[in-house]
Structure 1
């Protein structure tokens, strides 16, 4: 729970974005634990770094070819010396990076320090934001709006 730990966690998320931009499924999968769980924004579950790597290599070759991954860290909360939950916003994009207020997804990462001392992603969940539904909810039930941070 030091500045070094915080930087290491930020680095693993940035490394995942760099691997994504390079279209390198192996490097992307290496950011995850061997037993990681991964849920895409469309709800597809993957298990383990090998499956995450292989599936993303296929995605990088087809649907996600030439894309980049924007990851903006909103919060890192530590749960002991070897575990943290990271809340982010982000998006997949081509060309110019979208402004953070335009990001269409919210993600939750659980990161752990493994026996080799490296921080890796143990769980990832990605949700596509439905801004119109949020606005309707907030208008008719204002107490549903999150508190500003």
Structure 2
């Protein structure tokens, strides 16, 4: 007899999706607080970030870059994101595609040059989802 009940599998996927989204919410809440330590709290030690012209090779480089940005050009800023998709290409691995934007201090709407397309790679380790990789590129070109 063949069963078509996929409830446990779907329930596990729904739980994983909620957990992944919670990690992203933590990252964006830390950005709003301009807190570089909280920003990388859910990153793995060997996480990488690729930004236009920049390759940050680990959690400490990411934290240091965000600390400098929050003390300088991103002081008082916040970031927004709109998740476009979450895929699970393998066990305990998630790929998130989102549209993001930076709102600088005093802005209520992001400027076109501050809009981006983002990809996130997360993995589950010891029951917790962690950011392993982040890539960002401009949404609009000149």
Q: How high is the TM-score relative to the length of structure 1?
A: 0.79
CA contact (8 A) 2:113 2:140 kept: no
Is 1:17 aligned with 2:28?
yes
More helix by percentage = 1
RMSD: 2.0
CA contact (8 A) 2:27 2:39 kept: yes
> Can you give the 5+ residue segments of structure 1 that lack an aligned partner in the other structure?
133-149
More strand by percentage = 2
Distance 1:77 1:71, change over 3 A: same
Equivalenced residue count is: 129
Q: Which residue of 1 aligns with 2:108?
A: 96
Is 1:34 aligned with 2:45?
yes
Take 1:34 and 1:131, find their aligned partners in 2: how far apart are those partners? Answer: 33
Alignment of 1:59-138 (within 5 A): 59-94=69-104, 95-98=107-110, 104-114=115-125, 116-130=126-140
> Can you give the 5+ residue segments of structure 2 that lack an aligned partner in the other structure?
1-11
Q: Deviations over 1:26-51 (max 9, x none)?
A: 111112111011012x2211021121
Task: Give structure 1 regions of 4+ aligned residues with deviation exceeding 4 angstroms.
Answer: none
